């Protein structure tokens, strides 16, 4: 059984992925398929944190951009992950602009709806947390923090590459990621009953969340230019 697990969990090395990308660039479809299967699930996860249930559609759009521009890409596996994330991010931000408002996920509702057993209710809820719920929780952070966390944890990018995707300085992205974790820790570390306030807090601090669109685009300038 082990192999299947390895395949599912393991991550292609940068070298492997870079090699596959290069072959894909030369028209090798099998290599491209390997690249897709390696990167796509992580891209979907990243975008799920940004656009919720539309992630599949938006990621799909992004792949068409990737296919179109692949011949111009140069770099190894990590660089490809970063590039793919950048392309997907553009698509996601476009999407968010189109729909004008960040989706309200229900992750927190679902989690807090778990029956509360004194003592370990939080543990129970988190024990069964689904990937979608986890991503949605992260996605409810201020966008800057959410993206920093998602790029590191979901896409597995290193800090400098995450910074490049976001078009920001590595230090700023590191700080954002740390703040994001801190905030997550505060919210899940307290009793379930405190999810509510935590969320309100975020909404009243909506300046954060609202900065998503414009601020995100601003950040893009660095990547684009």
Partner 1 sequence: MNESRERGALLAADDAERLLSGQAPGGADDELAGLVRLLVAAGEPLPCRAEDELAVLDAFRQVSAAGRPGDARRRGAAPLLAPQRSRRQVKALVGGVAAAFTLSGVAIAAQTGALPHPFHSGGTPHRRPAPPVTVSDTAPGANRPAGTAGPAAGSPAGRNPAAPTHPAHPTHPVTGSHADTDNHGLCESYTQAAKQGHQASVSIRLRLSQAAGGEAKVDSYCAAVIGAGTPTNGAGPKPKSTPTSTPTTTPSPSGSPSPAATTAPTPTAPTATHHTAAAHASASPSPSTSPAASSTGPHRH
Q: Does the footprint of partner 1 cover residue 186 (CB under 8 A)?
A: yes
Residue appearing with tokens 């969990």? 9
CB of 192 to partner 1, least distance (A): 10
Restricting to residues 130-149, which ones interact with partner 1 according to CB under 8 A? Answer: 130-135, 137-138, 149
CA 48 to chain centroid, in Å, comes to 7
Site string for partner 1, 70-99 (x = CB under 8 A): xxxxxxxxxxx-xx--xx--x---------
The residue among 202 and 223 lying less far from partner 1, judged by its C-beta, is 223
Total residues binding partner 1 (CB under 8 A): 116
- Min CB(93)–partner 1 separation in Å: 10
Site string for partner 1, 15-44 (x = CB under 8 A): xx-xxx-x-x-xx-xxxxxx-xxx-xxx-x
Residue 55's H or E segment, with its range, is helix 55-69
* Buried b / exposed e along 81-119 (16+ C-beta atoms within 10 A): bbbbbbbbbbbbbebbeeeeebeebebbebbbebeeeee
Q: In whole angstroms, how close is the CB of 210 to partner 1 at the nearest point?
A: 22
Evaluate whether 68 touches 109 at the Cβ level (below 8 Å).
Answer: no
Our finding on whether 118 is near partner 1 (CB under 8 A) is yes
Contact residue for partner 1 among 103, 114, 126, 213 (CB under 8 A): 126
Q: Verify binding: residue 102, partner 1, rule CB under 8 A.
A: no
Cα separation, 158 vs 89, whole angstroms: 17
Residue 144 · residue 112 · CB < 8 Å = no
| Rama region for 52: left / alpha / beta (φ>0; ψ in -120 to 50; rest) | left
Pick the binder of partner 1 from 103, 170, 210, 213 (CB under 8 A). 170
């Amino acid at each position: 059984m082990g192999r299947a697990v390895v395949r599912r969990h393991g991550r292609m090395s940068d070298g492997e992925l870079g090699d596959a990308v290069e072959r894909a660039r030369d028209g090798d479809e099998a290599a491209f398929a390997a690249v897709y299967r390696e990167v796509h699930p992580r891209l979907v996860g990243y975008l799920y944190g940004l656009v919720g249930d539309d992630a599949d559609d938006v990621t799909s759009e992004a792949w068409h951009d990737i296919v179109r521009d692949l011949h111009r890409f140069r770099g190894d596996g990590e660089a490809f992950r970063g590039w793919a994330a950048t392309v997907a991010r553009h698509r996601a931000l476009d999407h968010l602009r189109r729909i004008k408002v960040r989706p309200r996920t229900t992750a927190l509702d679902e989690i807090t709806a778990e029956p509360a057993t004194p003592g370990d209710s939080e543990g129970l809820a988190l024990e069964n947390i689904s990937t979608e719920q986890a991503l949605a929780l992260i996605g409810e952070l201020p966008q800057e923090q959410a993206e920093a966390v998602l790029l590191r944890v979901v896409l597995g990018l290193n800090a400098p590459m995450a910074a490049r995707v976001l078009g920001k300085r590595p230090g700023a992205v590191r700080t954002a990621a740390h703040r994001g974790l801190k905030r997550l820790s505060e919210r899940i570390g307290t009793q379930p009953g405190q999810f509510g306030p935590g969320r309100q807090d975020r909404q009243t601090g909506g300046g954060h969340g609202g900065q998503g669109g414009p601020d995100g685009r601003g950040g893009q300038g660095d990547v684009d230019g």
